[in-house]
Structure 1
Amino acid sequence: MDERRESPGQADGAGRHREGEALPAPPRPPRGEELGGGGFAAEGQYFLKYDHSSYQQFRSWAPAVLFWAAVLCSIRFPAAAAAERSGEESAPPRVRVVIAPTLSYGPLWIALEEGFFRDEGLDVELLTMRRTAEALPSLAAGEVEVLGSHILPSHMNVIARGGRVRIVADKGHHDPDGCTSEAIVAAPSVIASGRLDDPARFEGLRVATDKGMSGYFYIDTLLATLGVSAEVLRTFDLPLSSKEAGFTNGAIDFSTAAEPWLTRLVRSGTAVKWKAVEDFVPGFQSGVILYGPALLDEDQGTGTRFLAGYLRGIRRYNEGKTDRNVEIIAEATELDPELVREACWISMRDDGEIDVESLVGYQRWALREGLIDRAVAPEEFWDPSFVRGANEILRSREAR
């Protein structure tokens, strides 16, 4: 099962249990899948993909959420005022991070569970959405501080239009010397037919892909190396959770799949790995950590300390599939520990730096496809100051 709790940060330690825990628990919004789209609760709001049934359900429980938000605020604010009067230490900065229930968020879960963010004096809360792309407006508006995501044309468009959003760290890249964390997979019958061995026979193949997502970039790039245009394909969007059924019932000929779905599809015999992504876009910067205005402009020190905790999480993640790492990631994703251990964990750099040139090339492709307004320069989309400051913090501690 690949569903998980909306917020893994609900136990002891910073970013977990909250003041006021003796109160009766306020009513929780329905889970994302019950609303017909991903969503998460934060600051008395619920961010979700809009559809009519979701809106009707939202109307039914919104008054209760607002009531409890008012109750909690009435408790918190006097306490903060009392702390100021008595000279007590103020509460740690709160950092809300939007994530998805996939393996590439492992360093964040590790950093939270092992207390690395707490060591930096931060109150970090991880907020889960099925499609993190839907949280980009909330990041740009300052409603959340951090977004973890695969790279999207919409990131570049927000930046090109003046939005205060920047990439600040690595969250996964396709290392040609690493394992295959994402691949193009095909139905066994299509592989057996030999159709994929002859580009002249590609016309009409049914492909599950969303043009605005990285999977389409991979497919189009691969086909270009074979001298085939993606326009000859029959493409349609299909949720990850539906791809297995699509292959089983013959609705899909090929598609992209990332972990853990890649291992699950191949292990069950539902699909066959056809092309590994790192073979035709080696080093591509597929995953990124983004900051919004709250950390870029208002509290840069917190932004640097957050990445210091995150980099410690990456380094622990890069120690590999230790029992403790597997335990943390399996619990957070609600995946079977054996699946977590079997799947490929995407490569991440210990220092958090990104492959800038791969994103420059990605923008050239997106511009040709009409997916972005203009190509933004590296200094517009990439702010290395936070990750370099975080590395300096860690180096100074190691030297003591």
Structure 2
Amino acid sequence: MRKTTLAIAIFFLASIVALAGACTAAPTPTPTKAPAPTQAPVATVAPAVATKPAAAAATAAPAVATKAPAVATQAVAPAPAKVAVQPLSPPFKMKVGVAGSAVDAGFYIPYEKGYYKELGLDVELVNFANGLLVVPPLGTGQLDAGGGGVNVALFNMILRGIPLKIVADKSHAEPGNMGIGFLLRKDLLDSGAVKTPADLKGRVLSLPSRGSTQEHMAEILLAQGGLTLDDMDMKMLQVPDQIAAFANKSIDIGHAFEPTVTTAKEMGVAVLWKGDHELLPYREGSAILYSANFQKQTEAAKRFMIAYIKGVRDYNDAFFKKKGTEEVIAIMAKHSTQKDPNVLRKLAAQAINPDGYAYPEALQGDIDYFVRTGQMTPLDIKQVIDHQYVDYALQVLGKYPK
């Protein structure tokens, strides 16, 4: 297995804008050798019934969701019990885009524990500054899979005939989860200068980019105070860079996720003020994407999903069941942007669906926002999501025990 560091993040930031109209190629990163992963047992097949969220109809105006999205029960065809999934031979070489966030653990854990290798996948992890930068090289076919940020550029690529697919959840805003949302500068909170969204007028708001789903979240938040984005001083920053910006008081509020949320709190510069789950429950923070070419590699694509879901389940076990926690924290400290295990132990761990499915209703809400603000034309979420790989993985792994 190999791990690659993508050094020229600024190039891909420009690519996001360019790919909203047409895809252009990006440079191939130089690979570096990664440590050999440990081995884990091969998955066996067992019949299962998967619970899969159902797509919702588009809405004409923004609204704050107050309940969980509709869930439909989809029967998964039973497969022969105790039949091992054979590894691909020769191993399938593939590149996977990662962004160094806590929820990239679903990629890092299989890499370190040998889940990819046992299924015949030779995975190279390619690092990016954020999930939005993962999307352009997926569109050009330079990556096979990745944890991509959901934004208008992704949807416009699909509208222009580039058949990227959201194939699984990477993170979502589950009610009660405080791992993603809006950080507020601590001195503004402590002094009472900002008590409600109405108090944000004229203040500096940090987002990773315009046309992102974070922009949609900001619109919902500001509307609670009778404000719009036009009432704010906007500043585009990568999420980890917000720490220094809060410290030197060059921003007042910013949208962030783990490990930045906990890092900001530990440093005393900002605190999570409004969680995404309070604004749009089950909002899809990021998603697993397959490139057009990788979708054609059916056996590899199915096996990758098995390994990914196994990794996600280890993550859920570690943070929500306190099982195998130290092993997972060590893996995250090795690969994520937060290298301090003590900070990682304090994470308000973001929710990742251990049964894999993404949340179509929330994604359709993002699309409707971009349509309403003139950033794209209408798009049915059914053109975006393909859960066949999750369906297969659940035939092999069964449903996650609650």
**Is the shorter-chain TM-score for this pair beyond 0.5, marking a shared fold?**
yes
The partner residue of 1:325 within 303, 320, 328 is 328
Structure with more relative contact order (C-alpha pairs < 8 Å, separation 6 or more):
2
Q: Which residue of 2 aligns with 1:85?
A: none
Q: Which residue of 1 aligns with 2:184?
A: 186
The partner residue of 1:203 within 171, 193, 201 is 201
- Name segments (4+ residues, structure 1) moved above 4 Å: 47-51, 198-201
Contact 1:141 1:293 in 2 (8 A): no
Contact 2:198 2:225 in 1 (8 A): no
Task: State how far apart, in whole Å, the 2-side matches of 1:273 and 1:131 are.
Answer: 20
Amino acid corresponding to residue 232 of structure 2 in structure 1: L
Deviation of 1:187 (Å): 1.8
Change (3 A) 1:191 1:117: same
Q: What SS class does the counterpart of residue 247 from structure 1 fall into? A: helix
Q: Which residue of 2 aligns with 1:145?
A: 144
Task: State how far apart, in whole Å, the 1-side matches of 2:212 and 2:198 are.
Answer: 26
1:73-84 equivalent positions in 2, closer than 5 A: none
Task: State how far apart, in whole Å, the 2-side matches of 1:205 and 1:123 are.
Answer: 48
1:94-243 equivalent positions in 2, closer than 5 A: 94-177=93-176, 179-197=177-195, 200-209=198-207, 210-243=209-242
Contact 2:239 2:255 in 1 (8 A): no
Q: Which residue of 2 aligns with 1:6?
A: none
Greater alpha carbon shift after TM alignment, 198-207 vs 121-130: 198-207
Aligned length: 324
Matched, 1:246 2:249: no
Question: Where do 5+ consecutive residues of structure 1 fail to align?
Answer: 1-8, 11-15, 17-27, 39-46, 52-61, 66-88
Structure with greater proportional helix content: 1
User: Percent identity of the aligned residues?
Assistant: 25
Deviation of 1:157 (Å): 0.8
Q: Which residue of 2 aligns with 1:344?
A: 348
Task: State how far apart, in whole Å, the 2-side matches of 1:32 and 1:353 are.
Answer: 29
Amino acid corresponding to residue 339 of structure 1 in structure 2: V
Deviation of 1:254 (Å): 1.3
Deviation of 1:344 (Å): 1.9
Task: State how far apart, in whole Å, the 2-side matches of 1:170 and 1:185 are.
Answer: 23
Task: State how far apart, in whole Å, the 1-side matches of 2:201 and 2:13 are.
Answer: 33
Deviation sequence 1:196-235 (CA, Å, 0-9, x none): 3355543211111232233222221111233222211111
Q: What SS class does the counterpart of residue 91 from structure 1 fall into? A: coil
What TM-score do the two structures reach when normalised by structure 1?
0.75
The partner residue of 2:388 within 375, 385, 388 is 385
Contact 1:204 1:233 in 2 (8 A): yes
Question: Where do 5+ consecutive residues of structure 2 fail to align?
Answer: 16-26, 31-87, 320-324
The RMSD of aligned alpha carbons is 2.6
Deviation sequence 1:92-131 (CA, Å, 0-9, x none): 1112111111111101111111111122221111111113
Deviation of 1:300 (Å): 1.4
Change (3 A) 1:231 1:91: same
Structure with greater proportional strand content: 2
Matched, 1:370 2:381: no
Deviation sequence 1:322-347 (CA, Å, 0-9, x none): 11111111111261111111112211
Change (3 A) 1:214 1:243: same
Amino acid corresponding to residue 264 of structure 1 in structure 2: T
Q: Which residue of 2 aligns with 1:357?
A: 361
The partner residue of 1:301 within 274, 290, 299 is 299
Contact 1:203 1:232 in 2 (8 A): yes
Task: State how far apart, in whole Å, the 1-side matches of 2:197 and 2:386 are.
Answer: 41
Greater alpha carbon shift after TM alignment, 104-113 vs 128-137: 128-137
Task: State how far apart, in whole Å, the 2-side matches of 1:213 and 1:50 are.
Answer: 14
